[in-house]
Structure formats: C-alpha cells, structure tokens
Amino acid sequence: MLVFHGSLYNAPVYQIAVCDDEKETAAQLELYLSDIAAGLSLPCDIAVFYSAEHLRRAVQEGMRYDLIYLDIAFAEDEINGVQAGLFIRKTCNDYAVSIVYISMAERTFRELNDTHPLYFLEKPLTREQVEKTVKIFLKVATQRAAGGEVFTYKKGHTAHTVPVKNIVYFENLARKVIMHLSDGTLDVFYGSLKEAHDEQLKDRDFLFIHASYLVNYEYVTAAECNYLHVRGRSSPLPIAKGRRNEIRKQYFAIADRRRLV
C-alpha cells in the first residue's frame, strides 16, 4: 500500500483502490495516482489488488473506498470487474464510492449501468486520463461535502435529516411527501416536491419526472421514453408527457458526465 498524506489542513484522507491483474498496469496507475495526489496536495491511501475477488473480499470485510479503479477483464475462473462492481453496489449497498472502469477497448456491458461508474478508461493509460478522473472525482466529492450529503425536512416543529445517497425517490400524495429509502423504509412529511427539488436536490442528480415523482438517478436501472425503472420497485414510474424531452436530456447529460457505457 502506498500512502501519501498532503498538507491540506483537516482534509479527509481519501481511500483509493487500484484493481488490475496486469501488474505493470497496476504499478503504473499507482505511480500516476501518487504523483497526481502530490501535485494536488491530496491526502490519500492507495491500495493495490491484482484480482477482483481480493477486492470483493476486502469490501466484504468492511473496507470502504472513496475511489476505485477497476479493470473489467480477469481470468476466466475469477469474477470480473463488473461482477465486483455489482457486489459493491447491490450486496453492500454502497452507492457513494466512485468507480472508474478500465479495459483494453471500449466494451458495452448492460450490467455497467447498475454499477453507476464515474468514468471509463481505455488502455494503455496516460497520466492525463488518470488526472482527469481524479479531478472529476474531487468535484463530486467536494459538492457532496459542501452541499452536505443530507436532505433536511420538517415533521411538526422538528427538523430531520437523511443522507441523500439513501433516498431512492419521493412520491407526492395530496399535501404529503412520501420518501422511499434504500433500506425499504418510508418516511412521510408535509411539503412540496418542487421545493425539495429546487431548494436542495436540483444539483444532486434527481430527476423531477412527474408532479408526483422525484427520482434519484443513482437508483435508476433503466430508462424508457415514458417510464423510469427504479431499483426496489416491481413497476416503473411514469414520466409526465410534458417532461419527457427534458428528462431524456437530463438523463443522458448525467450519463455523459459520468461516462456510462
């Protein structure tokens, strides 16, 4: 494990994992990351894995990473990078870690959509490519920290908060808002979806698909012209006819920013 601690006062130490069975690629990526981190005064710990299974075990045993560089292809008798990503997202329910996939060439896996990658890198890697992904990660991390990763709402005279990453979608019912959470629980409060969107969630990748539904992009598993399929729901959520073009543009803008493949 390579450790670099920068000089930023009270800055978090980011946990970064590199997972690639090509040891030369892993070593080069680790070198790029340590050099980039030094240049940005970015405190970080870098762990290197040579198999997706070893990374999966580390996560299963409780290790949490902020950023993972994950090769897609591994030996036939091992799990691949997509399977490791699905384990992190679905089994561990970790939608906070940023995943950057690596491959010899652009490849399309439908399952990648369920892992919500931050970016996709093609081998051979260059320092410029890697630095771009680090800067994108930092923008995302900074926005989360600056904006506070919580949604605030009132029940009676009491203020409550919930991590934004745990919100799957909001549903409007008369004057009440039903908040559906990733653990399957609900919370209900009086309020307005429009206010929730405009005041707190507009810049956090929530899709206001209908007067009755406000959906967290992180939990969208598939998108159709008229519907969004959301993790945990047996039936899709409708997109209002007058919002379909706008939602389509927003959806693909988010996907393009994150470089979904």
% of the chain at pLDDT higher than 90 = 50
Domains 2-146 and 150-258 share a fold: no
Q: What is the pLDDT of residue 111?
A: 63
Whether pLDDT at 4 is above 50: no
Largest Cα–Cα distance of the chain, in whole Å? 59
pLDDT given for residue 228 in this prediction: 94
Q: What is the pLDDT of residue 139?
A: 80
- HSE toward the beta carbon, residue 97, CA cutoff 13 A: 26
Q: Helical H runs in 61-212?
A: 81-86, 112-115, 127-146, 193-196
> What is the average per-residue pLDDT within 58-65?
90
Q: Indicate the length of the chain as a whole number.
A: 261
Task: Select the more confidently predicted residue: 74 or 171.
Answer: 171
| Residue 238 confidence (pLDDT) above 90 | yes
The pair of three-digit structure tokens given for residue 146, joined into one six-digit string: 């600056």
DSSP string, 42-55: --EEEEEESSHHHH
Tell me if the bond preceding 163 is cis, omega within 30° of 0: no
| Domain range annotation of the chain | 2-146, 150-258
**Two tokens, residue 23:** 């040891």
The answer, yes or no, to whether residue 136 has pLDDT greater than 70, is yes
CA 127 to chain centre: 23
Q: Is it the case that residue 2 has pLDDT exceeding 70?
A: no
Residue 252: pLDDT band by 50, 70, 90 thresholds?
confident
Report d(CA 202, CA 193) in Å as an integer.
11
Percent of the chain with pLDDT strictly greater than 70: 87
Reply yes or no on domain 2-146 having CATH 3.40.50.720: no
CA dihedral of residues 65, 66, 69, 70 (deg, nearest 10): 50
Q: How far apart are CA 146 and CA 99, in angstroms?
A: 21
Higher per-residue pLDDT: 12 or 216: 216
Higher pLDDT, 109 or 216: 216
Q: Which of the listed CATH numbers 2.40.50.1020, 2.60.40.4070, 3.20.20.70, 3.30.70.120 matches domain 150-258?
A: 2.40.50.1020
Q: What is the pLDDT of residues 75-115, one digit of tens each?
A: 877 899 999 999 998 888 787 889 999 987 655 555 676 67
